[in-house]
Structure 1
Amino acid sequence: MFPSMMQPLLERYLSYLRFELNLSPNSCSAYLDDARKLVRYLSDEGLSLEGLTYEQMQGFVAGLYDIGIQPRSVARIISGAKSFCRFLQLEGYMEADPSELLETPRIGRHLPDVLTTEEVDRMLEACLERGGAEMLRNRAILEVLFSCGLRVSELCGLKMGDLFLDEAYLRVYGKGRKHRLVPMSPSAIEEVRRYLLSPRPQPQRGQEEYVFLSRRGRAISRIMVFVLVRELAGLAGLGQRKISPHTLRHSFATVLLEGGAGLQAIQLMLGHEDISTTEIYTHIDRSSLREEIERYHPRNRKTHV
């Protein structure tokens, strides 16, 4: 365990994440956990924050590999440790940031799985097969994820005051509590209206404004949405693939790109700060173009004698 004397400093760091950087609760929790990892390492090695060096930070990273943490997770922990070190420098605990030159592991670009419109329709039909009191809610969730490209946390945090169904858009609070306006398709509006007009669970105190509720009347959780999407994918015959709520977001972006939408428009609708994050969808589109060329170009057709 890290020394109890470090707890007040970590609490101040949490306040910094919440109020200075305006990060979401999930991001705050992840960054705080990374800071705790660094503090535990320093305690185990008998090192101090004030005298922390670049070489010691390298030792911290090497220890992550030693216990079998995968490169993608190492990269995330390094990002959290860097944030903590910047905070310590701002607070005057360090004269220089020892993590400034720390390199993150190279991670190969992973092309996310995507669904076709027909496969999404099969998942919507699976809601009917699954049935239950939540059927209309589940259809509305799938349609909003696919038609609006929301992150699962954005969907769970959606409130009644964020819906502008007559104007055909919704307001989303994304990372850093930055909001954006996302157009809604007619099918998404229809599914949401049907859900809101249906009998819903009695909201618990403080949960009245949330759009998507659990059986217990609380805002639906991220885990519940993950489980729901996986179950519906299985009923739709897609269970052999790793389908998640984020798959629907990727599918939203890919369908837009294939339909001719520009990267900047997709960037705005997804809420990406950096266009390079959005550019991954050009790789997906190129791979589908390659398949089309190999299938239809006369030079790629096999001739039979």
Structure 2
Amino acid sequence: MSSGDDRALIERFLEMMAAEAGAAGNTLAAYGTDLRLASEALEGRLGSAGAGDLERLGAEWQSFARATVARKSAALRRFYAFLHDEGLRGDDPGGALPRPGTGRPLPKVLSTGDVDKLFEAIAARQARIPADPLDLRLAALVELLYGSGLRATELVSLPRNAIHPDRPYLILKGKGGRERLVPISDRARAAVGLWREHVASDRLWLFPSGKKHLSRVRLYQMLQGLAAEAGIPPDRVSPHVLRHAFATHLLEGGADLRALQAMLGHADIATTEIYTHVDSRRLVELVNSRHPLGEALVDAKPRPA
């Protein structure tokens, strides 16, 4: 690959980060700078670099502060994961990059109250006269993001008939070609059914746009507008944030972590543990109320003389 190829790949990656992950402007600028510097250091071969190239690059960072190395490594790992997920390369060499041991930041959080506000804003839209079919599309998109934990790319590229009214799940091929079973709630199936009536039967996609399907960028913009209508700061809402809300709220409701891992399509349970942060008080309450020794521990407490 040439330096021109690197530039195009970096731009595609940054577009995905903005649209799917809702990355802030400062984050995008930092990632862009780190990737361009890495491309320069690798003489325009960033997109095709192998593990050995990245090991040598990492060795050149030894004089940098730990936080700087962590940021550079994170930028490149996400970049290579993106190339692999998009089928632009058959491997992911990101594992060769240094890991200085800094903690991963927790994703942005939406409370159940925030999610309720989003759905109230959708309901207000649907109550307008005359009705706008695009409000049905928005309802279906948000129901699937929050109700099934779909990634933005998975959502916008759903085939027209992927979701059946009498089947409460679908099988998706996600990152790394791994298949997973995705639950589809009754609400989501109903919302999809209403929207699909407005999608011509000869269209390939459930959410068509022109000759292709809805883009991740447009999905992100739609959610930003909905957040503003709901009275939520738009920078707190993105497809990735709604996927995280799906995971967090399920776990808070008592979902099994392994089941959640399968639904999210995570290869490593550690990713799920980071993705879902639960109030420490709830964990203590869970141990006290559900652990087999809970009653015995209570009985063992010293009693007043």
TM-score class, shorter:
0.5 to 0.7
Q: CA RMSD in A?
A: 4.3
Report the Cα offset of residue 36 of structure 1. 8.3
Aligned-partner residue type, residue 159 of structure 1: P
Q: Which residue of 1 aligns with 2:41?
A: 41
- Secondary structure of the corresponding residue to residue 154 of structure 2: helix
1:117 positional shift: 3.4
Per the alignment, residue 74 of structure 2 pairs with 75
How many pairs were matched up? 243
User: In 2, are the aligned partners of 1:111 and 1:284 still within 8 Å (CA)?
Assistant: no
Deviations 1:257-287 (A, max 9, x none): 1111110000000000000111125533326
Cα drift, residue 135 of structure 1: 0.3
The aligned amino acid for 1:154 is: E
Of structures 1 and 2, the larger Rg is shown by 1
Q: 1:70 to 1:196 in 2, by over 3 A?
A: farther
Partner Cα separation in structure 2 for residue 240 and residue 126 of structure 1: 14
Find the counterpart in structure 2 of residue 254 from structure 1: 248
8 Å Cα contact 1:139/1:191 also seen in 2? yes
Unaligned residue ranges in structure 1 (runs of 5+): 15-25, 28-33, 85-97, 292-305
Report whether the alignment pairs 1:146 with 2:152: no
Per-residue Cα deviation, 1:122-168 (whole angstroms, up to 9, x for no partner): 21232344564310000000001111011111101211343233121
| CA shift in 2, pair 1:56/1:285, >3 Å | same
Moved more, 225-234 or 128-137: 128-137
Measure, in 2, the Cα distance between the counterparts of 1:123 and 1:140.
Answer: 13
Deviation at 1:101, TM superposition (A): 6.5
- Whether the 8 Å contact between 1:171 and 1:180 is mirrored in structure 2 is yes
Measure how far apart 1:116 and its partner are: 3.2
Measured after TM superposition, the shift of residue 180 of structure 1 is 1.4
Q: Which runs of 5+ in 2 are unaligned?
A: 10-15, 18-33, 84-92, 127-131, 286-305
Q: Does structure 2 retain, via aligned residues, the 8 Å contact 1:257–1:285?
A: no
Q: Distance in 1 between matches of 2:180 and 2:94?
A: 33
Distance 1:108 1:228, change over 3 A: same
Q: TM-score, normalised by structure 2?
A: 0.64
- Report the counterpart of residue 296 of structure 1 in structure 2: none
> For residues 286 and 209 of structure 1, do their structure 2 counterparts lie closer, same or farther at Cα, with a shift above 3 Å needed?
farther
SS in 2 for 1:162: coil
Shift of 1:71: 3.9
What fraction of aligned residue pairs are identical, expressed as a percent?
37
Structure 1 residue identity aligned to 2:74: A
Higher relative contact order (CA 8 A, sep 6+): 2
Q: In the alignment, what sits opposite 1:271?
A: 265
Amino acid at match of 1:272: H
Change (3 A) 1:35 1:164: same
- Once the 2 structures are TM-superposed, how far is the Cα of residue 225 of structure 1 from its aligned partner? 0.9
Question: Relative to 1, partners in 2 of residues 1:237 and 1:264: Cα closer, same or farther, differing over 3 Å?
Answer: same
